[in-house]
Amino acid sequence: MATQLPTTDIRIGTELIRRRKGATPIVCLTAYTYPIARLLDPHVDLLLVGDSVAMVLHGHETTLGASLEMMIAHGQAVMRGAARACVVVDMPAGSYEDSPAQAVASARRIFGETGCQAVKLEGGVDMAGQIAAIVAADIPVMGHIGLQPQSVEKDGGYKIKGRTDENVAALIADALAVETAGAFSLVVEGTIETVAADITRRIAIPTIGIGASGDCDGQILVIDDMVGLTVDRVPKFVKEYADLRSVIAHAAERYASEVRSREFPGRAHVFSKADGGDEA
Ligand code: KIV
């Protein structure tokens, strides 16, 4: 099938996102595939090809199942579908933590092979060197602090951050380190609301909240959670704007029943010589 994207739209770049600090909230969603990117592109400012793809589409238990190849393939699919939104691709666990040199090599692959606008990686003070090196290689970086899904095994689960004074101080230090390293924006995930609001006030780059605060400069959700496609438990911070689980189950039930009763395919869905034409 031919890919036909609108040609008149101008791509939202990372600099435009950076300048949206304190302005109209930045609308972000994850996307992993070409059709979903096409559907979301007119409505959002930023599409994140999150490493949550490993869980959402590939059925892995955690995001640790994502690989560089997986992220690049989904990044390419989303880039084919999105003409307008700023597209950010996650760096998977194991592709950047060892050294700034490893981080730059992986970021170059993602950036070069997908044509995305930026990469995202998890970590604060501990990853500042990686962020600075990728930015120095002319690749924009989105940071990610607070609840970091790639650390779920180390943390013993998906734990909310910012409950103790010590942890709040660490989160603020992380946010400042990511900003100083040159990131253009920062995802703040799974924190006490007032802490995310405080971080938003303290840094000059936009914060994108998920389970964080309405005071963040933007919001992001995982697309499958947002449209009610997630079959397992969804976190408290998710609002389901549709119930696609029921829509799909109902469609499958009707299809199965019509195939079994030979109601489908009907006259409208088969070819006869009288129809003319040879297009399916
Ligand atoms: O991988 C992901 O989907 C993410 C967002 C939820 C922020 O990192």
3-state secondary structure of 211: coil
Both tokens of 260, joined, read 């079994």
Ligand 1, atom 8: nearest CA belongs to which residue? 50
pLDDT per position as a tens digit, 48-75: 999 999 999 999 999 999 999 999 999 9
DSSP state of 172: H
Q: What is the pLDDT along the chain (280 residues), one digit of tens a residue?
A: 444 555 546 999 999 999 999 999 999 999 999 999 999 999 999 999 999 999 999 999 999 999 999 999 999 999 999 999 999 999 999 999 999 999 999 999 999 999 999 999 999 999 999 999 999 999 999 999 999 999 999 999 999 999 999 999 999 999 999 999 999 999 999 999 999 999 999 999 999 999 999 999 999 999 999 999 998 889 999 999 999 999 999 999 999 999 999 999 999 999 998 887 788 8
pLDDT in tens, 69-120: 999 999 999 999 999 999 999 999 999 999 999 999 999 999 999 999 999 9
pTM listed for this prediction: 0.95
Q: Return the pLDDT at 1.
A: 47
Ligand 1 pocket test, pick from 26, 28, 30 with the greatest ligand atom count within 8 Å of Cβ, gives 30
Strands 185-189 and 207-210: parallel
Ligand 1 centroid – CA 52 distance (Å): 6
Query: What CA–CA distance (Å, rounded) separates 80 from 32?
Result: 11
Which among 51, 62, 207 is the best mutation to test ligand 1's pocket, defined by most ligand atoms within 8 Å of the CB? 51
How many angstroms separate the alpha carbon of residue 149 from the centre of ligand 1?
Answer: 8
pLDDT at 9: 61
Distance CA 175, CA 17 (A): 17
Determine contact, residues 58/77, Cβ cutoff 8 Å. no
Q: Which residue's CA is the nearest one to ligand 1's atom 3?
A: 50
Q: Is 30 in the pocket of ligand 1 (CB under 6 A)?
A: yes
Q: Could you state, in order of their start, the residue ranges of all structural domains in the chain?
A: 14-242
For residue 270, what are its two tokens? 């088969």
CA distance 239 to 217: 18
What's the rounded Cα separation, in Å, for the pair 14 and 141?
A: 9
Q: Is 50 in the pocket of ligand 1 (CB under 6 A)?
A: yes
Print burial letters for 130-146: b (CB count within 10 Å at least 16), e (below 16).
bbbbbbeeebbbbbbbb
| Superfamily of 14-242 according to CATH | Phosphoenolpyruvate-binding domains (3.20.20.60)
Q: How many CB atoms lie within 10 A of CB 152?
A: 17
Beta carbons of 7 and 49 less than 8 angstroms apart:
no
Q: Are 49 and 32 in contact (CB under 8 A)?
A: yes
Report the pLDDT value the prediction gives residue 278, as an integer from 0 to 100: 82
Ligand 1 proximity of 187 Cβ (cutoff 6 Å): yes
